[in-house]
Structure 1
Amino acid sequence: ENHKMLMKNANENDSSMMSSDYPKIIAVDLQAMAPLEGVVQIQGDITKVSTAEEIIRHFGNTKADLVVCDGAPD
């Protein structure tokens, strides 16, 4: 449910976003994750170039507005 709150807050705080637009959320973890609606999930290692390239592909020609990382070793 936290991702829904993030999406709601982002829409409320960005007047340029249309009501049908949502922020792009990408989650990356070494371990498999439970599916979350509206979240692109990548199972990968954030220290690997291939994972970084996959993240960049999902953003296309846009930049991230926010990056949150817990970066804890598993």
Structure 2
Amino acid sequence: MNPAAMARFLAKIDQWMRGAAWTTQCSNYFRAANGRVVTQSPRSARAFWGMTRRFKASDFTFEPVPAVHPGVLDGRRR
């Protein structure tokens, strides 16, 4: 994901997190070592599903897959 798209996504997460119980000073497994509360989506599974249905190709950088060792993709063993 390109930096601008990631910044927009994190800003949206921060907006949704305002006022959530996880952001209080309590200790929880969502809190990273730096104190930031992290989660892929503080909303419902349905909201996350809906959010991931929209794909904006310009938000990503696509690169060719590097060459792999022979046999890795076709299942052959050495």
Judge same fold: TM > 0.5, yes or no: no
Q: What TM-score, normalized by structure 2, do the two folds share?
A: 0.27
Q: Does 1 or 2 have the higher relative contact order (CA < 8 Å, sep 6+)?
A: 2
Q: What TM-score, normalized by structure 1, do the two folds share?
A: 0.28
Q: Which has the larger radius of gyration?
A: 2
Richer in helix (by share) = 2
